[in-house]
Every structure is written in structure tokens, then in C-alpha cells.
Structure 1
Amino acid sequence: MIDLMLAKDMNAVADLWAHDGTAEFPFAVGSSPRVLCGREEVRAYLAHYPELMDMKEMAALTVWPTDRTDTVVVEWMATGSTVANSQPYSLDYIVVLTVRDGLIALFRDYWSPLSAAAAAGSLPGLIASLERENT
């Protein structure tokens, strides 16, 4: 998956999901989805990622086994630059990953929407959307 993300082959990344696999983003806010159901929703979500973020490296990769043979916890740092303004970014991720028959059944991604919005240059828009939600 990491190699495919770095190659910006989002279709191949989506193909790693089971047909009915899910992606969950518990910390998602604003217009970001909290749950994607199925490979095709994941594919649509990933389609424009290379137009937003130019990921150059996934560093500090650590895989933590769990007491379940089909589930691991993965930590990594993605570095690169934003496409819109060429500003460098460094984002940390923690993912709980469950596989079934060699495909992703569950990808629970604990990323920081504030850090991602700041890296993408869209933090003012995210804050405005949060303020609208709370009024």
C-alpha cells in the first residue's frame, strides 16, 4: 500500500480493499466523510488525493501486532508538499488495519484533520465550516 501511495496509483490502492471493506475516520470534521463503505467509495475518496498532496515519503513506519491475527496497528509519518502552494508538510497517522482473505476489511484511520487542513492550506475553510456547524 505504501509503495502504491507513493506512486500515486490510487486505483491500485483502492483495489487493496475488500469489495465490502470499510474505511473509517473517527476524527473527521467538516465535509470530510467519517465512513466509506465498500471499495468503490474508497476509490472515489482517493481519486483526487494526488491533486491535493504530493506525498514523497512515508517514514517512521511501525507495525504493532494485536491479539487478533487479522489485525495490526500501524503508525507512520507522511512527508511531502501540498500541490496548491508547494508548502512542505509532515503528517502523523495511526491506523487500525484488519484484513480478510488478503484484502482490507477495515481501515480505521486516526489522522488529524487540523494538521491535514493546515498542510493543504485549507485551515480557514475548515474552521469556518466548524463555526457554521456550531451556530
Structure 2
Amino acid sequence: MSTAASAGPADLFRRGLRMLIDKDIRAWVGLWSEEGVLEFPFAPAGWPKRLEGKAAVADYMRHYPDHIDLHDFPDVKVHETSERGTIVVEMRGVGRVVETGEPFDMTYVAVVTVSGGLITHYRDYWNPLAVSPGGATDFTRGDR
């Protein structure tokens, strides 16, 4: 059995956070199943609410390090659920906004499902009031 397939959801998630801090988006996307779904229930107008498939997740995340320089996830709390392979994570990401140098400090709650050692579903409950569409933290735009 591969290391990825034997990793539990919490271990896989924490490894993914390390990859984001290391700006290794390719490796982070490698933690996803081909059919993985990434949802943003609180996404403001103009932002995607649902991404279907590993390729869509990769496309969405490809510019992230160009816009957000993550330094740490200092407060990570993983909650096991009664649903096999599903965890709920409370966390805080800190760093800086690359374009302005301003601090970046975002609190998240994520519901993550892992099957076969890969992420199959990720619901990201982040605060849309902390960013403005088209602003410096709009890391999905490729024109920056």
C-alpha cells in the first residue's frame, strides 16, 4: 500500500498545508482524486462556488503563490466525524499579500473527505468579507 493511500484524512490534510506553505501547488493538487470537488459555499459574486475535477482545482490554484505568501497555519484543529474519511478542520492561515506586502490572516473551516488516500471533496468555508473580488487577494486571476 502506498504512503498516500495509507495516510488518514488528518495526516493527508496536514501534509497538504505544508505543501501550501512550501508553495508546492503541483504537489498539493497531487493529493486530489481526478474527480475531486472543491466548493466555496460563501464565495462572493464573481468567484467560483464549485470546481469539479483535479484539472479545475489545479487551474484555480496555479497563481496562488503569486498573490498570497503563506507563512504558517498556526491554529489547526482537526475534528474526526462519524462519516468515514471525513474530517472538519478549523484553521488560520497567516502570511502576506504579495502585491501590497500587507498581512494576510484568514480563518477557515473546511469539511474534507478523503478516499483511497486522495481528497475527493473539500468544502472551504472562508470569510469573503476579508477579500475583495479583483483585489490583491484575488489569486484566481492570471493577469497579475
Contact 1:91 1:116 in 2 (8 A): no
Letter in 1 for 2:22: A
Of 109-118 and 32-41, more deviation after overlay is shown by: 109-118
Contact 2:90 2:109 in 1 (8 A): yes
Give the match for residue 94 of structure 2. Answer: 79
How far residue 121 of structure 1 moved from its aligned partner, in angstroms, is 4.3
Q: Secondary structure at the match of 1:59?
A: coil
Q: Which ranges of structure 2 fall in alignment gaps of 5 or more residues?
A: 1-15, 139-144
Normalising by structure 1, we get a TM-score of: 0.85
Give the match for residue 61 of structure 1. Answer: 76
Aligned residue pair count? 122
Are residues 1:94 and 2:109 paired?
yes
How far apart, in 1, do the equivalents of 2:22 and 2:137 lie?
24
CA 1:122 to 1:105, structure 2 compared with 1: closer, same or farther past 3 Å?
closer
Give the match for residue 33 of structure 1. Answer: 48
Looking at secondary structure, tell me which structure has more strand per residue. 1
Are residues 1:51 and 2:62 paired?
no
Give the match for residue 128 of structure 1. Answer: none
Q: Which ranges of structure 1 fall in alignment gaps of 5 or more residues?
A: 124-135
Contact 2:67 2:137 in 1 (8 A): no
Give the match for residue 37 of structure 2. Answer: 22
Looking at secondary structure, tell me which structure has more helix per residue. 1
How far apart, in 2, do the equivalents of 1:92 and 1:122 lie?
14
How far apart, in 2, do the equivalents of 1:16 and 1:110 lie?
20
How far apart, in 1, do the equivalents of 2:126 and 2:24 lie?
21
How far residue 11 of structure 1 moved from its aligned partner, in angstroms, is 1.0
Consecutive aligned runs of 4 or more in structure 1 exceeding 3 Å deviation: 120-123
Q: Secondary structure at the match of 1:95?
A: strand
State the structure with bigger RCO (CA 8 A, min sep 6), 1 or 2: 2
How far apart, in 2, do the equivalents of 1:122 and 1:70 lie?
31
Q: Secondary structure at the match of 1:60?
A: coil
Normalising by structure 2, we get a TM-score of: 0.80
